[in-house]
């Protein structure tokens, strides 16, 4: 199993000036770095790939779609734009040498209609993402991760079962479920069962605390999480995803209104130590 860290803990996006973050994460003991190319036109994808290779780091790419690229929109033109933009992000991910491209990549982040998910939205989402997946499959072995979100960030895919249903409806091997304990604890009846029932569809895992602070200091039942991962033989990456309180836009989107650690480095270091300890006690034992 590998352990990762999301760069939004240190920087709101990722530009040339942020390249030293990769070495910082490696020195802290992480195997994987997850990066959001929000400023995609200025994202140094080739440099990321080269430096990551030098450092022996895996790269994953994350994204939260803006409303103009919402592939579940009732507007056909918006859906079409979303498909083409997501294909561009797949190209950027490949250029960066990413193993996984995922997150809120199947609808607009923060988009809700004020109603329950409709049959039309499901149809548009499946059809649109299948086209994206077919394109991605033709370019590389990259995995596309479908992340279930809590009800306050989306009305479309809220539970692990929703994500599994979406993935199986698309029916392509390169589309997998991405689970995040921050969302699971808000939406699931039982986190252990949610992970178990995701089974072989699980392709990536965000190991976050209930408040997005240091893992181990909140309400997530970590022993159950690790037992479930062990029982489904998950051997992928566990990534910590938290936000620097100084990152104004992400803090607003993630509704983080208080300080959760003395600094990003403390959150990352203590979180990694906790997750490795749980892994050694439950999975490696």
CATH classification at residue 139: 3.20.20.150
Among all residues, which ones are annotated catalytic?
A: 147, 241
Phi, psi of 178 (to 5 degrees): -115, 115
Give the whole-angstrom CA distance, residue 273 versus residue 285. Answer: 16
State residue 59's pLDDT score.
98
State residue 259's pLDDT score.
77
Give the whole-angstrom CA distance, residue 165 versus residue 203. Answer: 14
Number of domains in the chain: 1
Q: What is the pLDDT of residues 196-254, one digit of tens each?
A: 999 999 999 999 999 999 999 999 999 999 999 999 999 999 999 998 767 777 667 66
Residue 60: exposed, middle, or buried by beta-carbon count in 10 A (0-12, 13-18, 19+)? Answer: buried
Encoding tokens for residue 215? 């893992």
pTM of the entire predicted model: 0.96
State residue 243's pLDDT score.
80
State residue 256's pLDDT score.
72
Q: What is the pLDDT of residues 119-174, one digit of tens each?
A: 999 999 999 999 999 999 999 999 999 999 999 999 999 999 999 999 999 999 99
State residue 67's pLDDT score.
97
The stretch 39-57 carries a mean pLDDT of 98
**3-class secondary structure per residue, 215-258:** CCCCCCCHHHHHHHHHHCCCCCEEEECCCCCCCHHHHHHHCCCC
Phi, psi of 219 (to 5 degrees): -105, -5
Q: If you write DSSP's letter for every residue of 21-86 in order, what string do you get?
A: HHHHHHHHT-SEEEE--SSGGG--HHHHHHHHHHHT-EEEEEEEE-GGG-TT-S-HHHHHHHHHHH
Question: What percentage of residues in the chain have a pLDDT greater than 90?
Answer: 92
State the residue range of the domain holding 128: 2-283
Q: In this predicted structure, which of 55-64, 71-80, 130-139, 249-258 has the lowest mean pLDDT?
A: 249-258
| Spatial CB neighbours of 265, under 8 Å, sequence gap ≥ 6 | 28
The stretch 24-35 carries a mean pLDDT of 98
Helix (H) or strand (E) run with residue 120 in it = helix 119-139
Residue 105 has pLDDT above 80, yes or no: yes
The stretch 4-22 carries a mean pLDDT of 96
State residue 258's pLDDT score.
77
Tokens 């050694």 belong to residue = 280
Helix (H) or strand (E) run with residue 180 in it = strand 175-180
């Amino acid at each position: 199993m590998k352990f990762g860290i999301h760069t939004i803990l240190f920087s709101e996006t990722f530009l040339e000036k942020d390249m030293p973050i990769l070495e910082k994460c490696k020195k802290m003991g992480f195997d994987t770095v997850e990066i959001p190319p929000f400023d995609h036109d200025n994202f140094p994808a080739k440099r990321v790939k080269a430096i990551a290779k030098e450092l022996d780091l895996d790269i994953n790419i994350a994204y939260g779609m803006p409303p103009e690229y919402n592939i579940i929109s009732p507007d056909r033109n918006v859906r079409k734009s979303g498909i083409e933009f997501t294909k561009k992000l797949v190209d950027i991910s490949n250029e960066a040498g990413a193993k996984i491209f995922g997150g809120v990549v199947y609808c607009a982040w923060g988009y809700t209609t004020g109603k329950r998910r409709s049959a039309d939205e499901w149809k548009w989402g499946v059809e649109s993402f299948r086209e994206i997946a077919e394109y991605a499959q033709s370019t590389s072995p990259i995995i596309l991760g479908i992340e279930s979100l809590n009800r306050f960030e989306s009305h479309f895919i809220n539970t692990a079962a929703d994500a599994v249903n979406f993935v199986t409806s698309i029916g392509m091997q390169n589309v997998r479920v991405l689970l995040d304990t921050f969302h699971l604890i808000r939406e699931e009846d039982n986190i252990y069962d949610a992970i178990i029932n995701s089974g072989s569809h699980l392709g990536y895992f965000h190991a976050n605390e209930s408040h997005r602070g240091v893992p181990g200091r909140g309400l997530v039942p970590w022993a159950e999480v690790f037992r479930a991962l062990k029982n489904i033989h998950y051997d992928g990456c566990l990534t910590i995803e938290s936000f620097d309180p100084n990152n104004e836009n992400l803090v607003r989107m993630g509704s983080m209104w208080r300080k959760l650690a003395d600094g990003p480095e403390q959150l990352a270091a203590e979180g990694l130590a906790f997750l490795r300890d749980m892994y050694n006690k439950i999975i490696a034992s």
